[in-house]
Amino acid sequence: MKSLYFYSIIWTYDLLMFGNRYCTCRIKSRRGNTFLDAPCFVMEVLSPTTELYDRGEKMDLYCEQEIDEYWIVDWRQKKVEIYELDYENGTPKYFLWKEITKENKDELQIVPFSNLKITFDELFDEIDNYGL
């Protein structure tokens, strides 16, 4: 069984990135409370002031770090965009794998962690509780 660690800070070179949540199982890269390797999964909850950054520069940085899965959660539209890392001519690139809305909410899953369950309703209930 893999050990999962959930944190909300990512170190990228000398730049400190604040993801809303991320998940890693790479225990060998842990030194105390610090992880030296990129996580397997990152989730960003959009805000009007950071949306362009989350969809652009931040997504590019996560891709360069070869983070397997990147979720963009749009709380205004109640939608989750799931991007999967793949390679195009040897270069890492994100491809939109699936969009999850209320209509297909049962398809929500974190691909690298298929046994880890989060429901669409739980996700948006949690976001609503923060008053966004």
**H or E segment at 30?**
strand 30-31
What pTM value is reported for the model? 0.72
112: number of Cβ within 10 Å? 19
Confirm if 43 and 20 have CB atoms less than 8 A apart.
yes
pLDDT, position 52? 93
> What pLDDT, on the 0 to 100 scale, is given for residue 10?
39
- pLDDT score of 82 more than 90: yes
